[in-house]
Structures are given as structure tokens and as C-alpha cells.
Amino acid sequence: MEWLIVSDSSCEIRELDTAPGVTFALVPFKIRIGQREYVDLPTLNTHAMLEAMTAYNGASTTACPSPEEWAAWFELADNAIALTISSNLSGSYNAAMAARQMVLEEHPDKNIFVLDTLSDAGALAAAAELANARIAAGDSFDDICAALKAYNDAGHIMFALASFENLAKNGRVNRVVGFLAGKLNMRVLGRRTADGRIDFFYKTRGETRVLAKILEEMSVTGFDGGRIVFISHCANPNAARLLRHGIRAKWSGADVRIVPCAGLCSFYAQDQGIIITY
């Protein structure tokens, strides 16, 4: 194939309307709950996975794609653009870079670019759409890579969490604190740090307040309606629609996409969680 856009499955879109000569692919994360492994592909039943997480008393884990899985795709393309979740949240970027080196040793004529988005979810979806548009426009490989890097560097992401059960089971928060936060209808809002980690910077009671805080933070960070906004939700379409209405009321004509969280993002966002990228 001439062009490949390949992403790990932290990307929320499962398919892309590609330009001629372009293939879009996903390499999946795996989620282990007890003795069962869930593969984060379009066929995954995320609702069943979340139910299994709730029923299981122990800690659940995730595993990133292996270098061999990345390499299998890189070998098929003359020009490959790979998109990964933040390298400070997962080993996916390191695995993709190891695969790049392996493939280039055997095929030095190939072009392979790996973008560490320092983010996840809609950030990867927006990057995939941009890469596809630039390829369709006939841009060079180097120009496309530079455009992706610049676009990604200017991006933002926020996480609004309503459930803390998984964080408690994995030792990220005290179990009693996590239980009480859920019972008190607490919402916690996080944002990306410069190095791609998560800073939980705001907490409140009730969904309305956290949605208002998201709109406020978008203004503070300079959003002007000119970038695609992805709202990923974990079984919370009503909040996603309310947020989209608020964004469009404030920035008329903004391109706002609502997508359900796939497997990996559901694992971290948990029930009622929202991820917004812009």
C-alpha cells in the first residue's frame, strides 16, 4: 500500500473515510479482568466489559500493542503515519518506535513517522483526519509530519470523571474515598500537562458544574471554534449533548463530534465519564 495511517486503539474512531491510496488501521490494547482478556477492537462490547470490571473485586489491567503488532502494519506501507497515546500513560509509543527501527533496518526506503500525541481519545482521531486530508491534498511526507506535530502541540484535552471504582481497585485513590466520592455525586476534572500526564485540577458536586467548568477552561486556553472538538463519553450521551450545545452556543459553527468511548478509554473514563479534546 502507498499510505498507511495507523493508530493504537486509544483513538476513538473505528473507521475513517480515507482518500484514494490510504489505508486506516488500528492496533488494539488488551484489557485483562481476572482471567478474561478483552481486545479493544470495533467488535468489543464495552458495556459487557464494564460490567465485568464492576463485578470483579480485584484490579484490572491493560496491555499496549506489541512492537510486532506495529511492525506488521509498517511492513505493508511505503509511507506510514502512526499515532499513539501519551508515552507517559502507556508503552504504546515505545513499542511503535521499536517497530519503526526494526522495519527500517530491513526496509530503509520506507517512510515511517510515529507521533506521540501526549494525549488520547479524540486527539488521535483529529490527527488521523488531518493526516488523511493532507495526503489527499498531495502534501509531501515531511510536510504532513510537520503539520501533525504542530497541530498536536496546540491541542488540549480534559477528563471529567464520575466513577472512581476502577481507580480505587488499582490503588490510585483510597477505596473509602472513592466510594464516598461516588455516593456524594462528585465530579473530578483533569487536564493534560505539558509532558502528557494528567493533572486533576478541579472537583465539584454535580454534572452541570463540571460542564460549565469545561466551557470556562476552553475559553481560558484560547479555543476560538476553529478546531474539531471530540467529546467521548462512557454511557453518558446526555452530558455529551449538553456540552455540545454549550460549545455551539458560545462558539457558533464549531465542529463538535460526539463518539462513545471505545475499550481503553472506557476502562479509564468509567461509567458516566467524558473526555473532550480540542
Check residue 224 and give its pLDDT: 96
Check residue 163 and give its pLDDT: 82
Q: CA dist 127 to 1, 43, 66, 216, 259, Å? A: 20, 23, 22, 25, 16
Check residue 102 and give its pLDDT: 98
The DSSP bridge pattern shows strands 198-205 and 186-192 to be antiparallel
Residue the block writes with cell 481519545: 121
Rounded to whole angstroms, the Cα distance separating 48 from 8 reads 21
The three cell numbers of residue 9 are: 486503539
Cβ(234)–Cβ(89) below 8 Å: no
Check residue 165 and give its pLDDT: 73
The three cell numbers of residue 277 are: 479534546
Q: What is the pLDDT along the chain (278 residues), one digit of tens a residue?
A: 899 999 999 999 999 999 999 999 999 999 999 999 999 999 999 999 999 998 998 889 999 999 999 999 999 999 999 999 999 999 999 999 999 999 999 999 999 999 999 999 999 999 999 999 999 999 999 999 999 999 999 999 999 998 877 766 665 545 544 454 555 578 989 999 999 988 889 999 999 999 999 999 999 999 999 999 999 999 999 999 999 999 999 999 999 999 999 999 999 999 999 999 99
User: What DSSP state is assigned to residue 196?
Assistant: S
The DSSP bridge pattern shows strands 36-39 and 79-84 to be unpaired
Rounded to whole angstroms, the Cα distance separating 58 from 169 reads 6
Residue 254: which of 263, 244, 269, 264 has the closest Cα? 244
Domain boundaries, the chain: 3-29+64-153, 157-277
Q: Which CATH number fits domain 157-277: 3.90.1150.10, 3.40.190.10, 3.30.1180.10, 3.40.109.10?
A: 3.30.1180.10
Rounded to whole angstroms, the Cα distance separating 167 from 181 reads 12
The DSSP bridge pattern shows strands 274-277 and 157-161 to be antiparallel
CATH 1.20.120.1200 given to domain 3-29+64-153: no
Alpha-carbon Rg of the chain, whole angstroms?
A: 19
Kindly give, in sequence order, each residue whose CB lies less than 8 Å from that of residue 65, ignoring residues fewer than 6 positions away. Answer: 8, 9, 27, 28, 29, 92, 95, 96
Residue 212: which of 223, 224, 204 has the closest Cα? 204
